[in-house]
Amino acid sequence: MTSNFDVGKIRQDFPILERRVHDQPLIFLDSAASSQKPACVIEAMNHYYRNTHANVHRGVHTLSEEATEQYEGARKKIARFINAKSSREIVYTRNATEAINLVAFAWGRTNLRAGDEILLTESEHHSNIVPWQMVAREVGAKVRYIPVDAKGYLDTSTLDTLLTKQTKLVGIASMSNVLGTILPVSEVIQQARAVGALVLVDGAQGVPHLPTDVQALDCDFMAFSAHKMCGPTGIGVLWGRRELLEAMPPFMGGGDMIRKVTFDGAEWNDLPWKFEAGTPAIAEAIGFGAAIDYLNALGMSNVRAHERDIIAYALERLAEVPGLTLIGPDDPDRRGGVATFTLDNIHPHDLADILDHEGIAIRAGHHCAQPLHQKLGVQASSRASFYIYTLREEIDRLVDGLYKAKTIFKR
Ligand code: C6P
């Protein structure tokens, strides 16, 4: 690995990795669900609550001014992290899910009409399917899907027929949380542009693991969550092109999102506060800012290089296990740090339970992607997912655990 990417040193930044589970050292292979937090993020939030807590944008006293400065400072860090043109384009939400719902309802209700089409991929998370189904039902629009092939790659040859004048928005994840596939987002954006469709990128998995540049990508919206990228739960981001956000009505009404209110009506605040009704997640925004500083110090290209190494190793080691079927691409250049599989006919929940007794945390189930599982013809799967602190030795321990499960089930 590159000199400033020392996994052993990185692990020392994560207090939880010292934990034991069932008297075994913790092997945390569930970072795609939520990553662990470095001490600097925990400390930033702790410091804020001990020293600076007050509501933001409201008081003229010192604490409120300091809290506002830190809250807005984090927004600037996030803007630079994804190369947004302006921090005005960074809307704080609760998570990626809320960010997508914001677009589906604030943009969708205003701009979608009966007969319009929303084009998604078959590998989307429920968060990038259900809000669109809801708004489509409301306005009479139709949701269509770009197929995923047997290897887990997006079948872009279908775009010529699927993208039509009716397509108003394309929703695509930059990385699949099940297949691990790094999706050809640029190609999809270029083709969507040709029919005048907007593109929303679900960056919940992509932003934590890959360098992200919204201007170079030329998308219209991007949604992501802090908790999958070393930050706290309870805060996420909707990035949107300024002109689109300006034209959208607010999603929720209340304090902070208004400029003026009378008994008869209200005028909206400027961006991004127009979309941030009520007291926001202040400590969480500050924690998110600290997470961004942490990832920047590591370098996102180094993060990706490390994960490429780990997934390549995992694919190789898992393929050795008899009865194990890997789901998703076998090319580590096109796959993030997510290894999903089935093992014989052991139920993924039983497998996860056995591994838990070995101190190994994996996720089992449909991973909030039921339509994709239906397409793949499996009810549920097991998923090991990796991050900056994952060691090759942990993959070895996972493989040992899988053999143990096979012995228990006499397979
Ligand atoms: N996937 C997983 O274990 P939230 O819950 O809003 O932070 O993120 C939603 C979401 C959206 N898109 C993708 C591609 C995702 O992977 C997720 C979250 C977690 O795979 C929890 S279900």
Does 199 share its domain with 277?
Answer: yes
Q: Which band of pLDDT confidence, cut at 50, 70 and 90, is reported for residue 4?
A: low
pLDDT tens for each residue of 40-54:
999 999 999 999 999
**Has residue 226 been placed in a domain?**
yes
Does 233 share its domain with 102?
Answer: yes
pTM: 0.98
**125 CB less than 6 Å from ligand 1?**
yes
Does 246 share its domain with 336?
Answer: no
Q: The domain that contains 140 carries what CATH number?
A: 3.40.640.10
**Has residue 209 been placed in a domain?**
yes
Does 203 share its domain with 325?
Answer: no
**Has residue 314 been placed in a domain?**
yes
| Length of the chain counted residue by residue | 411
Atom 16 (ligand 1): residue with closest C-alpha? 177
Does 281 share its domain with 303?
Answer: no
Domain that holds residue 98: 43-296
Supply the pLDDT for residue 410: 84
Q: In the chain, what percentage of residues exceed pLDDT 90?
A: 98
**366 CB less than 6 Å from ligand 1?**
no
Does 171 share its domain with 213?
Answer: yes
Going by C-beta distance under 8 Å and a sequence separation of 6 or more, which residues neighbour residue 269?
256, 257, 258, 259
**Has residue 341 been placed in a domain?**
yes
Substitution site in 177, 179, 284 for ligand 1 pocket (most atoms within 8 Å of beta carbon): 177
At 271, the amino acid letter reads L
Is the predicted pLDDT of residue 99 greater than 90, yes or no?
yes
**Has residue 394 been placed in a domain?**
yes
Average pLDDT, the chain: 97
Domain finish residue from 254, 269, 296: 296
pLDDT tens for each residue of 218-266:
999 999 999 999 999 999 999 999 999 999 999 999 999 999 999 999 9
**Has residue 37 been placed in a domain?**
no
Does 207 share its domain with 311?
Answer: no
Number of domains making up the chain: 2
Burial bucket for residue 170 (CB in 10 Å: 0-12, 13-18, 19+)? buried
Q: The domain that contains 324 carries what CATH number?
A: 3.90.1150.10
Does 289 share its domain with 334?
Answer: no
**202 CB less than 6 Å from ligand 1?**
yes
CA dist 192 and 160 (Å) reads 10
pLDDT tens for each residue of 15-27:
999 999 999 999 9
368 is annotated as an active-site residue: yes
pLDDT tens for each residue of 100-127:
999 999 999 999 999 999 999 999 999 9
